[in-house]
Amino acid sequence: MASFVPRAACLALAAVTLAACGSTPDAPAATSTAYTIWDPYPQFDKSSDWVKLLDTCGTEAGVKVERTGFDTTDLTNKALLAAQQGNPPDVLIVDNPVVSTLAEAGMLTTTEETRTDTSSIAPNLLAAGQTGGKTYGVPIGANTLALYYNKAVLDEAGVDPASVKDWATLTAALEKVKASGKKGITFSAIGTEEGSFQFLPWFWGAGANLTKLDSAEGVAAVTLWADWVKKGYAPNSVIGNTQTTSWQEFATGDFAFGENGTWQLANAKKTGFEYGIIPIPAKAGGTAPAPTGGEFVSVPVQADTGRYATSQKLVACLTSAGNAYTTDTTLSYIAATEAVQAKQVAANEELTVWVEAVKAAKGRTSDNLGTKYPKISEPMWGAVQAALSGSKPPQEAMAAAQQAAASAVR
């Protein structure tokens, strides 16, 4: 599942623990036949398929792999500190919004430098690792958002999920569900990156752009959510919901819809009721662009550039078609290439809607926003909170957010 704590670059903020930008790097370690890989999957131990794959890739490259798994948030700080001390890992796997942070801090090589082939990777997924016209790694896979639905609740309300094509038909469905005595939709609107992550499909689906939060399109997206809460189509609890607590609400069986991600597929099978999945609709129809979650495999800058050739072999092995299929299945990710996506759908037809959602998805740091994104996201989630709580009307909330974001990114 995606991490929702993007970090500001060391060059922009001096608040990264023990990693002041002006510190003097230690002398680089002597060349070693062991290659280090850091990843955000501490849940996988040495007996896991993931760690076995790392070892296999090391064997194929003719080196020993030394792997360390960190908590996602801790990994960013550790990586910045290691770079400052002159001993970064050879291969670094990080949540995609962090790539631009590390790249702008001068920590990552480009795919051009390491001669990494990116030709088969979906451009919209690759874009999450691009900044300044350069690419800093390749996606190991992606997850994103869609709408889970409870078939029994919709049947009772007389709603065909196939009829939900845009905002108007979704709102009409919620109205029928409420009239039938059930609950409409639950989502996460908490005042953190999780709230922004869940709001973005509606924001982008309205045609809004992150550089202009208070556009008519942006205001329309906030108004949609605020109206749902006001009319009782969505519960007041969404204001404090994380994606986990929102899922727990949907899993009670009382809700028609729940906005959530690919990572809940296993839990969906445990709910005890028949469910389905549809893409999040854009305002005027079609699939809304949802944000991409998932990690990038990158190669940090090394004093010994001769190590890059072997690091590239490790990256190529980890992201090869055969290995990507196994890894993405383990992580509940959709693959980054069409060939592997087709293989996933052939093995599990339920993934069809997720492949469609990933194809329409968009990186949060895309459009060359890079490290500006966190400075825009925070006022945006604050505006959503204000509008849903009723403390500010949507237009006023987004105008204040735009003013704060514009000041922050100057």
Residue 130 sits in the same domain as residue 151 = no
The verdict on residue 14 lying in a domain is no
Residue 317 sits in the same domain as residue 229 = no
- Burial class of residue 4 (count of CB atoms within 10 Å of its CB; 0-12, 13-18, 19+): buried
Number of H helices, E strands in the chain: 17, 11
Instruction: Please tell me whether residue 39 adopts helix, strand or coil conformation.
Output: strand
* Residue for token pair 């329309």: 220
Residue 192 sits in the same domain as residue 232 = yes
User: Average pLDDT, whole number, for the chain?
Assistant: 91
Residue 368 DSSP symbol: T
pLDDT at 331: 86
The verdict on residue 15 lying in a domain is no
Is the pLDDT at 165 greater than 90? The verdict is yes
pLDDT at 14: 29
Average pLDDT over residues 189-210: 97
The verdict on residue 67 lying in a domain is yes
* Residue for token pair 């109206």: 227
Q: The whole model's pTM is what?
A: 0.87
Predicted confidence band of residue 244 (pLDDT cuts 50, 70, 90): very high
Q: Distance (Å, rounded) from C-alpha 214 to C-alpha 219?
A: 6
Give the closest residue to 209 by CA, choosing from 24, 12, 373, 345: 373
Residue 155 sits in the same domain as residue 193 = yes
Cβ contact 276:149 at 8 Å: yes
The two structure tokens encoding residue 121 = 């990777």
Residue 110 sits in the same domain as residue 57 = yes
Residue 380 sits in the same domain as residue 244 = yes
Q: Are strands 183-186 and 255-261 parallel, antiparallel or unpaired?
A: parallel
Average pLDDT over residues 366-394: 96
pLDDT at 202: 98
Is the pLDDT at 31 greater than 80? The verdict is no
**Which domain, by its residues, includes 202?**
145-290+369-408
Separation of first and last alpha carbons in the chain: 32
Average pLDDT over residues 326-330: 88
- The CATH number of the domain holding residue 273 is 3.40.190.10
The verdict on residue 46 lying in a domain is yes
Is the pLDDT at 12 greater than 70? The verdict is no
The verdict on residue 23 lying in a domain is no
Number of domains into which the chain is organized? 2
Residue 78 sits in the same domain as residue 189 = no
pLDDT at 236: 97
Q: Distance (Å, rounded) from C-alpha 57 to C-alpha 7?
A: 30
Residue 159 sits in the same domain as residue 214 = yes
Q: What burial letters (b/e) apply to 19-48, b meaning 16+ CB within 10 Å?
A: beeeeeeeeeeeeeeebbbbbbbeebeeee
Q: Distance (Å, rounded) from C-alpha 308 to C-alpha 61?
A: 12
Is the pLDDT at 50 greater than 50? The verdict is yes
- Burial class of residue 349 (count of CB atoms within 10 Å of its CB; 0-12, 13-18, 19+): exposed
Residue 222 sits in the same domain as residue 156 = yes
Residue 207 sits in the same domain as residue 325 = no
pLDDT at 98: 92
Is the pLDDT at 29 greater than 80? The verdict is no
pLDDT at 32: 59
Is the pLDDT at 229 greater than 70? The verdict is yes
Residue 68 sits in the same domain as residue 83 = yes
The verdict on residue 16 lying in a domain is no
The verdict on residue 7 lying in a domain is no
Most confident of 18-32, 223-237, 323-337: 223-237
Residue 385 sits in the same domain as residue 273 = yes
The verdict on residue 102 lying in a domain is yes
Residue 203 one-letter amino acid = F
pLDDT digits (tens, 9 = 90+) for 269-283: 999 999 999 999 999
pLDDT digits (tens, 9 = 90+) for 141-162: 999 999 999 999 999 999 999 9
Is the pLDDT at 322 greater than 80? The verdict is yes
pLDDT at 6: 34
pLDDT at 23: 32
Quote the Cα angle for 93-7-145, to 5°: 70
Average pLDDT over residues 117-136: 94
Predicted confidence band of residue 209 (pLDDT cuts 50, 70, 90): very high
H or E element, residue 356 = helix 352-360
Spatial neighbors of 269 by CB under 8 A, at least 6 apart, are none
Average pLDDT over residues 303-317: 96
